[in-house]
Amino acid sequence: MNPSRADAAPVDRTADRYRRQRLMAGFGPEEQARLGRAAVLISRTGGLGGPTALSLAAAGVGRIVLHHEGVLEPEDLNRMILMEEAGLGCARAAQAEAALRRFNPEVQVVARGSRITPAEAAAWLETVDLAIGAAPTLEERFILNAACVQARKPYIDAAVCGEQGQILAVRPGASACLRCLSPEDPPWDADFPVLGALSAVVGNLAALLAIRALTGWGSVPWGAYLHIDLASLDLRPIAVPRRPGCPVCGDLQ
């Protein structure tokens, strides 16, 4: 039962919305300030990237740039938590932008309703600190991977299919990149199974690694392929070596 607004206690809007996370060991005002100064690019904010973006907004990341093409369809509603039924037929990107702004008005949100191109990724990376690939297409994830390597900015790649999830955190020049992991384009069926509770787990792990990378708080398993078996609830990091002949990062020192 929800109390009516009249019954609710007055809200102290001067209270610090980030106080509780600063109770985390090692996460203090400096880490919070780093988040506030940080900008993140996210490709797709659906079942995977939506929870990522929401958790980054909740944590106080200063600026979120998102790309998400298309309009909301009924079958999106089992997982796209930034969208709502009333938005069926309307642009997904605009709904994600509005939801993030409603949730935390302190966060700057820039939304584009298109699939990101290599040129756009390169341009955004001049203004952001880190990129997250949460697209259901490998093409977009490889675009972000290559752009981040070129810009020498960290890249977090996330994917989920049914009960299997994966994350690769890339630090260009120091760790393997997504092309080192997948030299050939693996077979990919766009109509893969997805349950919102599962994609949100992987999306939030990506958000956690982004927060760690942006603040220096905690460790990031750079270059380790995190295989998340959501059937057995087993999370296993598998070291991925850099490939000297990698066409994306092979020449990087």
Closest separation in Å from C-beta 138 to Zn ion: 15
Closest to 51 (Cα-Cα) out of 195, 172, 148, 192: 195
Closest separation in Å from C-beta 250 to Zn ion: 6
The answer to whether 166 touches 192, Cβ cutoff 8 Å, is: no
Q: Which of 180, 209, 214, 220 is in the footprint of Zn ion by CB under 5 A?
A: 180
Q: Please tell me the distance from the alpha carbon of residue 56 to that of residue 76, in angstroms, as a whole number.
A: 21
Comparison of 82 and 181: residue with beta carbon closer to Zn ion = 181
For residue 97, the number of C-alpha atoms closer than 13 Å in the C-beta half-sphere is: 17
Closest separation in Å from C-beta 181 to Zn ion: 8
Q: Which of 175, 179, 201, 230 is in the footprint of Zn ion by CB under 5 A?
A: 179
130 binds Zn ion (CB under 5 A): no
Instruction: Tell me the window of 113-121, 126-134, 172-180, 223-231 that interacts with Zn ion (CB under 5 A).
Output: 172-180
In three-state form (DSSP H/G/I as H, E/B as E, the rest C), the secondary structure along the chain is CCCCCCCCCCCCCCCCCCCCHHHCCCCCHHHHHHHHHCEEEEECCCCCHHHHHHHHHHHCCCEEEEECCCECCHHHHHCCCCCCHHHCCCEHHHHHHHHHHHHCCCCEEEEECCCCCHHHHHHHCCCCCEEEECCCCHHHHHHHHHHHHHHCCCEEEEEEECCEEEEEEECCCCCCCHHHHCCCCCCCCCCCCCCHHHHHHHHHHHHHHHHHHHHCCCCCCECEEEEEECCCCEEEEEECCCCCCCCCCCCCC
Comparison of 38 and 132: residue with beta carbon closer to Zn ion = 132
Task: Number of residues interacting with Zn ion: please give it, by CB under 5 A.
Answer: 6
Comparison of 61 and 125: residue with beta carbon closer to Zn ion = 125
Comparison of 57 and 246: residue with beta carbon closer to Zn ion = 246
Closest separation in Å from C-beta 175 to Zn ion: 9
177 binds Zn ion (CB under 5 A): yes
Q: Which residues 221-250 are close enough to bind Zn ion by CB under 5 A?
A: 246, 248-249
Closest separation in Å from C-beta 75 to Zn ion: 35
68 binds Zn ion (CB under 5 A): no
Comparison of 168 and 177: residue with beta carbon closer to Zn ion = 177
Closest separation in Å from C-beta 121 to Zn ion: 16
Instruction: Tell me the window of 59-67, 100-108, 126-134, 169-177 that interacts with Zn ion (CB under 5 A).
Output: 169-177
Comparison of 47 and 172: residue with beta carbon closer to Zn ion = 172
Closest to 47 (Cα-Cα) out of 202, 156, 208, 229: 202
Comparison of 12 and 185: residue with beta carbon closer to Zn ion = 185
Which residues of this chain interact with Zn ion, rule CB under 5 A?
177, 179-180, 246, 248-249
